[in-house]
Amino acid sequence: MANMQAKSCPGKVALVTGGSRGIGSGIVRRLVAEGASVAFTYSSSEEKAFKLVREIESAGGTVSAFKADSASAEELCAAVTKTTEALGLLDIFVSNAGILTMGTIDAYSLQDFDRMVAVNVRAAFVGVQAAARSMKDGGRIVLIGSNTAIRTAFPGASVYSMTKAALTGLVRGVAIDLAPRAITVNNVQPGPTATDMTSAYADMVKPLIPLKRMGDVSEIASLVSYLASEDAGFITGASLTIDGGYVA
């Protein structure tokens, strides 16, 4: 009989923000496949959220979906509370929710700036803080940043790059803060990845990637799954780029 590969997160409780589509849904699927009970938040994609729940439950997985706008600290904290009430204390928290509003600096509105900072930076802080307070010692926190923290490359992405660069500093400090509890804190920085959001500019960026292709959602989820596992216990405070060599 062939050896079955052991699951990396058996019996763990995980919460993923922005888990209804794109990279988030890939992370949800992977953590469930690795044996975790997973809750995820969604903001506007209710139909996709409940389609994902039905898909996972029909395959025997444990999953819950909670509506929460990551720009609202109250809704984000409530999602953490609902998760722990439904599934127990957290072992894994993935701060994935993010938005992208393009615009050059001379035309960028303060309203768009504030919304980007609220969802991409403030929500990461709020989510990590709330999750850490409801997390078992030895837990795992993973933020989803972007390789634009290292290379912006195109006009109109300055504010997005700034928000993702902020996460690199946050994980370093939080990793030190939570080290006494053996909670690791890391940042995954995907490059161009094939999702609905990126389909419009795929042909433009592929020539800039040494591997000449977009990343697959499952590849990003695989790195997150590793960082959430027991095997990654000595990795903390790191920002890990997964982008086919785009920033090489």
Q: Active-site residues: which are they? A: 160
Exposed, middle or buried by CB within 10 Å (0-12, 13-18, 19+), for 60?
exposed
Edge to edge, the sheet with strand 13-16 lists 63-67, 37-42, 13-16, 90-95, 135-144, 184-190, 239-242
Alpha helices for the chain (secondary structure H):
22-33, 46-58, 73-87, 110-117, 123-133, 158-178, 202-205, 217-227
Distance (Å, rounded) from C-alpha 104 to C-alpha 83? 39
The rounded distance, in Å, linking the Cα atoms of 167 and 18 is: 17
Contacts of 65 (CB under 8 A, 6+ apart): 19, 20, 39, 40, 41, 42, 49, 50, 52, 53
